[in-house]
Amino acid sequence: MTQTVICIKWGTLYGIDYLNRLASMVQRNTKRPTRLVCFTDDGKGADPSIEIAPLPPINLPQLRKVSPWRKVSLWQFPLHDLTGDVLFLDLDIVITGSIDELFDYEPGRFCIAKNWTQPDGNIGNTSVYRFPVGKMTYIFDEFARNGQTIVDTFPNSQTFISTTAKEMTFFPPEWCVSFKHTLMPTWPLNFLVVPPLPHQTKVVAFTGNPNPHEARDGIWPVNAAWKKLYKHVRPTPWIAEHWR
């Protein structure tokens, strides 16, 4: 039976190299037939193994058209030709272990990485989640009815999704981690110690800065010079090993 991974790419924040790396990581980290479907406004240069699909329609408030709120469009049905459980992965992640267990864990349910900055809340992080296509369309329907009110009320799309979902379970926390919030040594050790990679980890999410290519090379982009006093990452070789 074929597994399905999906992603979404729009605008220019991440280039086609991020998509092609994701495809390569997916294929290296599964022992099963697996398809990758990318919903995008520009699939030029995509590896031939990637199935390109148009961005699902969604009516976004004008100021939110380039924001992560566009990911809410994936909760509608029909969604391309998809059925059953599909695994969503952001482009700015690094796969470091088998993703097959992400499909096997509590099948038929909405499973998501727990948000690392809200450990005591019931909020997921939509860098990594698996959901049953067509079973939770009420999330999209609610946004279609009240989009402006929703973006004015919730700080981000993952809080809206987590709050609106009638059922949700978290992947084991050791499977899906944040580079910045889980792996980075605290100051001042971040100047001395390379961020470790625990052996149980399957997916590393790069929320905000640094991005994978920056962390790999030991670069933490900052706007203010004084932030360099504490925002620092050492070159991290295991990113180059897995992010290819």
CATH code of 42's domain: 3.90.550.10
In a shared domain, residues 134 and 186:
no
In a shared domain, residues 20 and 113:
yes
Q: What's residue 130's pLDDT?
A: 98
In a shared domain, residues 111 and 182:
no
What pLDDT, in 10s, does the model give residues 175-230?
999 999 999 999 999 999 999 999 999 999 999 999 999 999 999 998 888 998 99
In a shared domain, residues 95 and 11:
yes
Is the Cα dihedral 207, 211, 215, 216 positive or negative?
positive
Q: How far apart are CA 99 and CA 32, in angstroms?
A: 10
In a shared domain, residues 201 and 150:
no
Q: How far apart are CA 120 and CA 105, in angstroms?
A: 22
Q: What's residue 15's pLDDT?
A: 94
What pLDDT, in 10s, does the model give residues 38-83?
999 999 999 999 999 999 999 998 766 568 899 999 999 999 999 9
Domain that holds residue 147: 3-170
Is the Cα dihedral 106, 56, 140, 118 positive or negative?
positive
Describe the strand order of the beta sheet including 203-205 as a list of residue ranges. Answer: 93-95, 203-205, 176-178
- Section 118-147 average pLDDT: 95
Which of 135, 155, 170 delimits the end of a domain? Answer: 170
Describe the strand order of the beta sheet including 34-40 as a list of residue ranges. Answer: 50-54, 34-40, 3-9, 85-89, 124-132, 111-114, 169-170
In angstroms and rounded to an integer, the radius of gyration of the C-alpha atoms of the chain is: 18
Q: What's residue 64's pLDDT?
A: 62
Average predicted confidence (pLDDT) for the chain: 95
Which of 170, 187, 216 delimits the end of a domain? Answer: 170
